[in-house]
Chain A
């Protein structure tokens, strides 16, 4: 069966520091991968998605970037965090034929 791992679960970082959140998927190949951010009262905002290695699409302009160095690895990064980057970040995957997405457990990021 397929599983998705996302870490760390919580993270407190100072303003201006770098960020790296990692997500890996097991039990499937060539998945679509997604990074969402969740802010209170605003639902889930799609930040990036990837349909293959090295292929990244950005949904909204922001201080963050994403990379997909391997088929089942998706990384969310920032060179310098802003206070507004605080939130709950969720990684997800879906198959080519499947329509639903499967989510990781999320990372609570607090920028102080």
Chain B
């Protein structure tokens, strides 16, 4: 069964510092991986996704993530944090729906990012 583990439920960085949010996955098939961001009392917004091809994927708002099969990881990074990056971030792995097509996402427990002046 597919699953994701996010290390660190809370991460705090200074404005302008590197952001690193960790995600490890478990999958019996080649995984599709995602990062979503959630602002308070809102839905989730897709930051970036990895399906196939280039292992370094770039997303919105300056975020990127690298798929490392040998480490079963998909960590999210941003070179320089901004106050507006403060939010909760979720890593997810896609599980195929065998009948009817499409996929369903299994999420990690989330990492709350705090950005300090």
**Residues in chain A within 8 A of chain B (CB atoms):** 6, 9, 32, 34, 36, 41-44, 46, 49, 51-52, 55, 88, 90, 92, 94-96, 98-106, 108
From residue B51, how far is it (CB to closest CB) to chain A in Å?
A: 6
**Residues of A close to B44: CB separation below 8 A:** 44, 90, 92, 103
**Residues of B close to A51: CB separation below 8 A:** 97, 99-102
**Residues of A close to B104: CB separation below 8 A:** 32, 34, 46, 49, 101
Contacts between chains A and B (CB distance < 8 A), count: 71
Stretch at the interface among B14-22, B66-74, B78-86, B106-114: B106-114
Knowing A90-B43, A106-B41 are in contact, say whether A44-B99 is a contact too (CB < 8 A). Answer: no
Of the candidates A46, A100, A102, A104, the one whose C-beta lies within 8 Å of that of B106 is A46
**Residues in chain B within 8 A of chain A (CB atoms):** 9, 32, 34, 36, 41-46, 49, 51, 90, 94, 97, 99-110
| A43→B46 contact, CB < 8 A | no
**Residues of B close to A55: CB separation below 8 A:** 100
Knowing A49-B104, A51-B100 are in contact, say whether A42-B109 is a contact too (CB < 8 A). Answer: yes
From residue B52, how far is it (CB to closest CB) to chain A in Å?
A: 10
| B110→A94 contact, CB < 8 A | no
| A108→B106 contact, CB < 8 A | no
From residue B98, how far is it (CB to closest CB) to chain A in Å?
A: 10
